[in-house]
Structure 1
Amino acid sequence: MTPDDPQDLFAHLQLLEVELHHPGVPCDAERLEALLHADFHEVGRSGRPYDRATVVRYLSQVLTPPAVDSCDFRLERLAPDLALLSYRSAQRAADGGPALQTLRVSLWKREGQAWQLRYHQGTPAASAD
C-alpha cells in the first residue's frame, strides 16, 4: 500500500506503528522482517541502541501483548518516500494506571510498494497530566 493522501498515509503508518505494539497478536519474525527496514536500528527508552536482529528476536518471542497506550500521533512528510511519525506512549502499571511515559519518534521509509520502519527512538517523558 502506498497511500498518497496525507490522511491515508497518517492512518496507514499509525496502524503499522501500533501493530509493532502487537495488541493481542504476537508478532512473528516474518512479519517483523517485512515491517523493519534492512538497516533498521533504534535507541530505546533506556538509551541503549538495538539493531534489527535483536528487535526481531525480542518481539517475536513476546507472547503477551504489553499494556501500552499510545496517543498524540503526528505525521510529518519529509520527502515523497520518507515520513516521521511521533507520538506519546504510556505503559500501564499493574493497577491499570499509567506508569512509564515515553515520547517516541519513528522514521518510515517507502521501499517499493511498502512502508518500512527505518529508525525508532524512545525518550523518557514526564506525565502528560
Structure 2
Amino acid sequence: MDTLLAELTALETELHHPGTPCTRERLERLLHPDFHEVGRSGARYTRQVVIDFLATRGQVPRVIAEAHRVESLAADIALLHFRSHEVAADGSAFHAALRMSVWRRTAVGWQLSYHQGTPAAL
C-alpha cells in the first residue's frame, strides 16, 4: 500500500504544477476519458474544460498538498485523500480544501477518473 500511495501522490502532484505546467499531452494521459470534477467552489467541470484550463494556465500556483492516504476500492481502483492549500506571494495560505481523487489503473497506467474538493479551515 505504501508503493501505491507514493505512486498516486506523485501523479496527483503533477497536476498541481510543481514548478512547471503539465503539457496537454501529459494531461490527456493522466485524466481518464470519463474524468469529471467537482471543484472546491462546488462547480462541475468536464475533462476537456480541466485540460484546457491546466494546459493554458499562465501563472503556476504554489500548491501545498499533505496528509495523503489511500484506500483500495477494488483491484484497479483507488481513492486518494489529502488536504491542500495555495500559497500567496506574501507566504499566506488560502483556498484550503479537503480533496479526494479516484484513480483507475488502465492499460496506459493510473489515470484520474474523478476529483472533488471541499472547502476546509486553514
CA distance, structure 1, for counterparts of residue 4 and residue 108 of structure 2: 13
- Runs of 4+ in structure 1 off by over 3 angstroms are none
TM-score normalised according to structure 2 size: 0.96
By how many angstroms is 1:7 displaced? Answer: 1.2
Identity of counterpart residues, as a percentage?
A: 53
Aligned-pair RMSD on alpha carbons?
1.0
The residue type equivalent to 1:59 in the other structure is L
Bigger mean CA deviation after superposition, 19-28 or 91-100: 91-100
Q: Which runs of 5+ in 2 are unaligned?
A: none
Matches within 5 A, 1:58-69: 58-69=53-64
Equivalent residue, structure 2, for 1:18:
13
Equivalences, count? 122
By how many angstroms is 1:113 displaced? Answer: 4.7
Contact 1:24/1:64, CA 8 A, preserved across alignment: no
By how many angstroms is 1:112 displaced? Answer: 1.8
Bigger mean CA deviation after superposition, 57-66 or 12-21: 57-66
Bigger mean CA deviation after superposition, 28-37 or 63-72: 63-72
Asked if 1:91 corresponds to 2:93, the answer is no
The residue type equivalent to 2:19 in the other structure is G
CA distance, structure 2, for counterparts of residue 107 and residue 44 of structure 1: 14
Structure 1 counterpart SS, 2:61: coil
